[in-house]
């Protein structure tokens, strides 16, 4: 019992920097665990979701207009500002100074911000709108479990 | 012949290339990232406690709002011109600064982070025509990746690159990049630079030089090198040589180990009771211990100080500080706060209205290197602190705290107009309409 308690304290300390899994160092009297040689670093979602940490921001979506693109109200969006926006990318755009999330679409020489919900109109980007692309959405984090 | 003439006649080399990258009106620009509506609106950012104006956007400068001006004095212009006012949000500015520096570090192996919004970059090996293309590229990248506009000055010494940077900022036609890599360009730039604006020339040296009719940096470098050394010392000579294109101040690539760390704040309103002072000192002690833990350091000794409002001449003044030894090197909040409280009780005097207090830790060293003889409970002490830091890291700062910090904290700093911590707190993420 006592030993268990001590281990849990050390665990908290070590896991701050998530270095090596704890039991690698433990001395055991019996047969060594055959899994020890195969231990690898734990999965790191930051590494998976964020390619350019300096340029990546997280924002929160609100509203129903991007439902068909898999973005629901309250979802978190990973936005990588180092990615050059391309046709059909989901982007964060600033329109008249308001940030909005839409699909970027090119038709001929015109650019549109398109909703992913038939009930919402598309916006054609015009000069006087002072529109610029704030960043490209690379991942959507959606909570699957509801209470 | 003067020193500079000799250099120029010999076509002395200006091969070295050092860039100074400086973020434009940094705090105001940070606020604009998540609030593009403010793009052309005048913005000011206030110092701690909403006291003075410490950052002005270009539009605010144009309105005649002065740097360092007390907020209440500028309030009339601010209200009349619909200037957006922010309390300083160092969580946001610190995070954005880190992003800028990380991005900059991709462009050259040698970088010296000089302040929250400035860095020197070693750009040796580039041909002069490449430099301007490369710097424009750096500038565009920082703007696109992080959203911060920067100005870049390049020359062969740090002091000259500061001057180049100033010019890049002042002249629109430079488009944010100014490169001074020929004697002609350097001479012209120095003629435009008042001697008091030169990096390393303080007010004292500046008024000393004015006496000799030295008005610009150009006048200064015409002087005799020996005279400068004799009258302005080694430091003055260094500045002189730097302006002559001779590099004397190397890039400082490895941040030197910190020897001390301080947390101090002004109170929102004057404090008179020892109880309130104890609470504030507990909070600062906790925060400063947290800070050194973040860097893996331990402190050997500490001091606590208090002072009254020096500017309020009508009230009687008192200030004092006390140096306190710690029993062994530690970064444990509980031990540091305990000692801080003993200190504040010793220096507290009744009947004064206190304006500010602080806790300073000294003799910092890497925590792995030191273990005091009496430090028998180091493991459990570390475990408790780590647990506290983790909980506070996840659920917001000071969720778990020492009771001596108090709950109401009526003395706490005034930050009435602070923006959300967009990049460091999940509850503060910017909302984007779909």
Residue-wise pLDDT tens digits, B99-141: 999 999 999 989 998 889 999 999 998 887 899 999 999 999 9
pLDDT at residue B254 in the model = 63
User: Which residues from chain A sit within 8 angstroms of residue B148, using beta carbons?
Assistant: none
Residue B203: pLDDT band by 50, 70, 90 thresholds?
A: confident
Residue A114: pLDDT band by 50, 70, 90 thresholds?
A: very high
Mean pLDDT of A11-31: 44
Q: Is A122 on the interface with B (CB under 8 A)?
A: no
pLDDT at residue B368 in the model = 66
Catalytic residue numbers of A, as ranges: 65, 102
- Min mean pLDDT across B124-128, B144-148, B213-217 is at B124-128
Shortest Cα distance, chain B CAs vs residue A129, angstroms: 12
pLDDT at residue A12 in the model = 34
User: Which residues from chain B sit within 8 angstroms of residue A130, using beta carbons?
Assistant: 39
- Contact check, Cβ <8 Å, A92/B423: no
Give the separation between CA B106 and CA B111, rounded to whole angstroms: 10
**For a pLDDT cut of 90, what percent of chain B falls above it?**
59
- Contact check, Cβ <8 Å, A102/B434: yes
Select the more confidently predicted residue: B370 or B128: B128
pLDDT at A124 over 90: yes
Give the separation between CA A125 and CA B216, rounded to whole angstroms: 50
- Secondary structure letter of residue B194 according to DSSP: B
Q: Is A59 on the interface with B (CB under 8 A)?
A: yes
- Contact check, Cβ <8 Å, B434/A63: yes
Q: Is B95 on the interface with A (CB under 8 A)?
A: no
pLDDT at residue A28 in the model = 52
pLDDT at residue A23 in the model = 45
pLDDT at A134 over 80: yes
pLDDT at A32 over 70: no
User: Which residues from chain B sit within 8 angstroms of residue A66, using beta carbons?
Assistant: 434
pLDDT at residue A8 in the model = 34
Which residue in B35, B386, B430 is closest to A59 by CB distance? B430
pLDDT at residue A1 in the model = 36
Cβ pair B21, B119 in contact under 8 A: yes
Please name which of A147, A119, A144, A139 lies closest in space to residue A52, comparing C-alpha atoms: A139
Q: Is B391 on the interface with A (CB under 8 A)?
A: no
pLDDT at residue B369 in the model = 64
The tokens for B379 are 């493991």
pLDDT at B294 over 60: yes
- Contact check, Cβ <8 Å, B145/A62: no
Interface of A with B in 19-48 (CB under 8 A): none
Instruction: Show Cβ contacts of residue B219 under 8 Å, excluding neighbours closer than 6 positions.
Output: B195, B213
CA atoms within 13 A on the CB side of B193: 29
- Contact check, Cβ <8 Å, B386/A62: no
Q: Is B387 on the interface with A (CB under 8 A)?
A: yes
Interface of B with A in 237-256 (CB under 8 A): none
User: Which residues from chain B sit within 8 angstroms of residue A11, using beta carbons?
Assistant: none
Q: Is B408 on the interface with A (CB under 8 A)?
A: no
Interface of B with A in 97-136 (CB under 8 A): 98-100, 102-103
pLDDT at A10 over 50: no
Mean pLDDT of B147-156: 97
Mean pLDDT of B179-200: 94
User: Which residues from chain A sit within 8 angstroms of residue B141, using beta carbons?
Assistant: 82
Cβ pair B95, B83 in contact under 8 A: no
Residue A4: pLDDT band by 50, 70, 90 thresholds?
A: very low
Distances (CA, A) of A57 to A47, A94, B36, B92, B147: 14, 15, 15, 12, 11
Mean pLDDT of A119-138: 93
For the segment B49-95, what is each residue's pLDDT rounded down to a tens digit?
Answer: 788 999 999 999 999 999 999 999 999 999 999 999 999 998 899 89
Shortest Cα distance, chain B CAs vs residue A34, angstroms: 30
pLDDT at A33 over 90: no
Give the separation between CA A120 and CA A115, rounded to whole angstroms: 6
For the segment B391-433, what is each residue's pLDDT rounded down to a tens digit?
Answer: 887 777 677 888 888 776 777 777 788 899 999 888 899 999 9
pLDDT at residue A14 in the model = 36
């Amino acid at each position: 019992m006592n030993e268990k308690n001590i281990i849990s304290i050390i665990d908290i300390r070590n896991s701050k920097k998530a270095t090596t899994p704890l039991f690698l160092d433990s001395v055991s009297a019996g047969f060594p665990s055959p899994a020890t040689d195969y231990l690898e670093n734990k999965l790191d979602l930051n590494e998976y979701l964020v390619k350019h940490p300096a340029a990546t921001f997280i924002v929160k979506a609100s509203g129903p207009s991007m439902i068909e693109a898999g973005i629901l109200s309250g979802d978190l969006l990973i936005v990588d500002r180092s990615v050059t926006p391309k046709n059909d990318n989901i982007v964060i755009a600033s329109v008249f100074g308001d940030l909005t999330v839409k699909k970027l679409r090119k038709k001929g020489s015109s650019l549109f911000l398109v909703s992913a919900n038939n009930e919402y109109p598309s916006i054609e980007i015009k000069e006087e709108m002072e529109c610029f692309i704030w960043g490209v959405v690379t991942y959507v984090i959606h909570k699957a479990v509801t209470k | 012949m003067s020193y500079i003439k000799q250099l120029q006649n010999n076509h002395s080399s200006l091969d070295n290339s050092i860039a100074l990258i400086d973020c434009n009106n940094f705090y105001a620009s940070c606020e604009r990232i998540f609030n593009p509506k403010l793009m052309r609106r005048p913005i000011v950012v206030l110092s701690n406690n909403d006291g003075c104006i410490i950052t002005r956007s270009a539009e605010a400068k144009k309105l005649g709002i002065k740097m360092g001006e007390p907020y209440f004095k500028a309030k009339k212009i601010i209200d009349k011109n619909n200037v957006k006012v922010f309390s300083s949000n160092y969580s946001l500015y610190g995070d954005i600064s880190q992003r800028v520096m990380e991005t900059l570090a991709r462009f050259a192996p040698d970088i010296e982070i000089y302040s929250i919004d400035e860095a020197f970059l070693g750009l040796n090996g580039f041909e002069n025509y490449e430099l301007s293309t490369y710097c424009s590229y750096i500038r565009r990248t920082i703007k696109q990746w992080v959203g911060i506009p920067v100005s870049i000055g390049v020359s062969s010494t740090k002091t000259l690159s500061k001057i180049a940077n100033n010019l890049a900022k002042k002249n629109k036609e430079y488009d944010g990049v100014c490169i001074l890599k020929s004697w002609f360009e350097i001479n012209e730039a120095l003629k435009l630079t008042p001697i008091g604006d030169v990096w390393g020339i303080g007010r004292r040296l500046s008024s000393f030089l004015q006496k000799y009719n030295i008005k610009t940096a150009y006048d200064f470098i015409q002087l005799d090198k020996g005279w400068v050394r004799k009258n302005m010392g080694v430091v003055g000579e260094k500045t002189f040589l730097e302006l002559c294109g001779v590099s004397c101040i190397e890039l400082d690539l490895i941040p030197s180990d910190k020897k001390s760390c301080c947390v101090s704040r002004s109170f929102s309103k004057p404090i008179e009771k020892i109880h309130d002072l104890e609470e504030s000192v507990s909070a600062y002690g906790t925060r400063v211990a947290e800070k050194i833990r973040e860097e893996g350091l331990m402190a050997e000794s500490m001091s606590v100080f208090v002072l009254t409002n020096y500017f309020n001449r009508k009230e009687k003044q008192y200030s004092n500080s006390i140096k306190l030894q710690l029993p062994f090197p530690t970064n444990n909040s509980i031990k540091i706060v305990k000692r801080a409280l003993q200190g504040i009780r010793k220096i507290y005097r009744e009947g004064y209205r206190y304006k500010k207090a602080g806790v300073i830790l000294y003799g910092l060293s890497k925590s792995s290197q030191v273990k005091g003889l009496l430090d028998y409970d180091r493991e459990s002490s570390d475990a408790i602190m780590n647990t506290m830091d983790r909980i506070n890291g996840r659920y917001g700062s000071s969720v778990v705290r020492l009771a001596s910090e108090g709950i109401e904290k009526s003395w706490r700093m005034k930050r009435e107009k602070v923006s959300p911590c967009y990049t460091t707190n999940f509850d503060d993420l910017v909302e984007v309409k779909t």
